[in-house]
């Protein structure tokens, strides 16, 4: 094989010996066009094959490199020799990665060679970027048809994205920190996928609740045994409750209590319970006719007249006013608080003043019967047993 160095040494050693010899030597000097990865140059070489030209230019071929004509092909004057180096390319298409060797010198050329020239595909590098002999890594995301439901609207889209989150971002669908995305935002995007974005908002609500008062009893020597008196009326308190409401697409999804505090304390109901012993009953002799008085006795006057039915309707106007205050005028009321009827008798008081002759409890007796028992208690204690004075 002849090289450019051989040519120079031969010329120096022989030094124009013969014209015929000079003509013979000239026949080995060939003018050729050399193209390396598309870059052309004009070369003169002494050699008989394409391989001689490559050696002369210091071009070493590796696996995958292409030379045309082949290295063993004869080299003639005026030939065009093309050399294309193979480049390693790592290409990831829709999440799947493979490595190839190619003599293409641009990204667009690689895509064309691999049949991936979709104009809607999204690339990690420019299509026109050149590929050096060191190669490059390339990511290709092909478009997918998906359906997106958000803000009350459902639309179909074609988008080149690797994940659900990336697709929503490319479509201009904003997702808040609390919003719910289905499938999950980091899920791989698939053709035909249905994506739903639910808007999640929270707000704080405030409400009040009633705090029931308690009834406490206090012993009192001023009242007879079995008698009771309301010293202080009970008042319910107020509890303020704060709750966090979660709304999904404007509809209430859940409510969680955040805090609760008593903002108005209840006032306990205080009932005096009599401990004073009643005087023993005495039996008086029947008064003589001469000693009888035509006017009512003091006791009768204080208790009022008694009807044939055994009822005493005296002071009915006053008792109606007391009932209006104590029970709202409901003579048959039984709220379960231990006090009964329009005048809110305790069971002990009712029975102590003879209410048992009418009914077991005051709410089971008539208005007239309740007034009768009230007049009996009034004769002993006045209105001291009632918080409402009528």
Rounded CA separation 350/338 (Å): 12
CATH class of 144-198: alpha beta
Q: From CA 151, how far away is CA 207, in angstroms rounded? A: 30
What does pTM read for this prediction?
Answer: 0.48
Judge contact between 38 and 17, C-beta under 8 A.
Answer: no
Q: What is the maximum alpha-carbon separation in the chain? A: 196
Burial 349-372 (b: 16+ CB within 10 A, else e): bbbbbebeebbebbbbbebbbbbb
Query: Between these two residues, 183 and 389, which has the higher pLDDT value?
Result: 183
**Residue ranges, CATH 2.20.230.10, the chain:** 203-274
CATH topology of domain 301-390: Lysozyme (1.10.530)
3-state secondary structure 154-222: EEEEEECCCEHHHHHHHCCCCCCCCCEEECCCCCECCCCCEEEEECEEEEEEEEEEEECCCEEEEEEEE
Cα distance between residue 283 and residue 302, in whole Å: 20
Q: What is the pLDDT of residue 224?
A: 79
Residues 64-107 have pLDDT tens digits of 889 999 889 999 998 899 999 888 999 998 888 988 889 888 88
- Distance in angstroms between the alpha carbons of the first and the last residue of the chain: 139
Q: Which fold has domain 203-274?
A: Resuscitation-promoting factor rpfb fold (2.20.230)
Q: Which CATH class is domain 87-141?
A: alpha beta
- Residue intervals of the chain classified under CATH 3.10.20.30 are 4-84, 87-141, 144-198
Residue 184 pLDDT level (bands cut at 50, 70, 90): very high
Q: Nearest CA to 246 among 234, 236, 237, 258?
A: 258
pLDDT digits (tens, 9 = 90+) for 302-321: 345 556 567 887 888 899 99
Give mean pLDDT, residues 328-348. Answer: 91
118 confidence band (pLDDT: 50, 70, 90): low
Class of domain 4-84 (CATH, top level) = alpha beta
232 burial level (CB within 10 Å; 0-12, 13-18, 19+): middle
Domain with CATH 1.10.530.10 in the chain: 301-390
Do the strands 96-102 and 87-93 form a parallel or antiparallel pair, or are they unpaired?
Answer: antiparallel
User: Rounded distance, CA 259 to CA 386, Å?
Assistant: 40
Edge-to-edge strands, sheet with 200-211: 200-211, 237-248, 251-264
């Amino acid at each position: 094989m002849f090289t450019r160095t051989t040519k120079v040494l031969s010329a120096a050693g022989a030094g124009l010996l013969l014209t015929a010899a000079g003509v013979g030597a000239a026949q080995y000097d060939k003018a050729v066009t050399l193209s390396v990865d598309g870059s052309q140059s004009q070369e003169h070489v002494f050699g008989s094959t394409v391989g001689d030209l490559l050696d002369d230019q210091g071009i070493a071929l590796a696996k995958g490199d292409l030379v045309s004509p082949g290295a063993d092909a004869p080299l003639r004057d005026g030939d065009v020799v093309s050399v294309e180096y193979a480049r390693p390319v790592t290409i990831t298409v829709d999440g799947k990665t493979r490595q190839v060797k190619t003599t293409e010198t641009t990204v667009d050329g690689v895509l064309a060679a691999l049949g991936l020239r979709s104009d809607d595909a999204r690339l990690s590098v420019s299509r026109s970027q050149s590929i050096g002999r060191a190669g490059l890594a390339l990511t290709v995301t092909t478009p997918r048809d998906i359906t997106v439901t958000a803000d009350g609207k459902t639309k179909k889209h074609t988008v080149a994205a690797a994940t659900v989150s990336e697709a929503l971002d490319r479509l201009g669908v904003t997702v808040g920190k609390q919003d719910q995305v289905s499938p999950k935002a980091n899920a791989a995007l698939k053709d035909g996928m249905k994506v739903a974005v639910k808007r999640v908002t929270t707000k704080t609500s405030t409400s009040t609740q009633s705090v029931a008062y308690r009834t406490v009893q206090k012993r009192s020597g001023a009242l007879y045994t079995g008698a009771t008196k309301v010293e202080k009326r009970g008042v319910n308190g107020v509890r303020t409750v704060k709750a966090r409401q979660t709304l999904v697409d404007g509809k209430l999804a859940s409510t969680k209590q955040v805090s609760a505090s008593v903002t108005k304390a209840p006032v306990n109901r205080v009932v005096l319970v009599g401990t004073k012993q009643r005087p023993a009953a005495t039996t008086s002799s029947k008064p003589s006719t001469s000693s009888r008085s035509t006017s009512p006795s003091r006791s009768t006057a204080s208790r009022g007249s008694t009807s044939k039915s055994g009822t005493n309707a005296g002071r009915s106007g006053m008792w109606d006013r007391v009932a209006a205050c104590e029970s709202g005028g409901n003579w048959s009321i039984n709220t379960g608080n231990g006090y009964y009827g329009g005048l809110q008798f305790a069971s002990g008081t009712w029975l102590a003043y003879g209410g048992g002759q009418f009914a077991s409890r005051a709410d089971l007796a008539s208005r007239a019967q309740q007034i009768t028992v009230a007049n009996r208690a009034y004769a002993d204690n006045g209105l001291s047993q009632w918080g409402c004075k009528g």
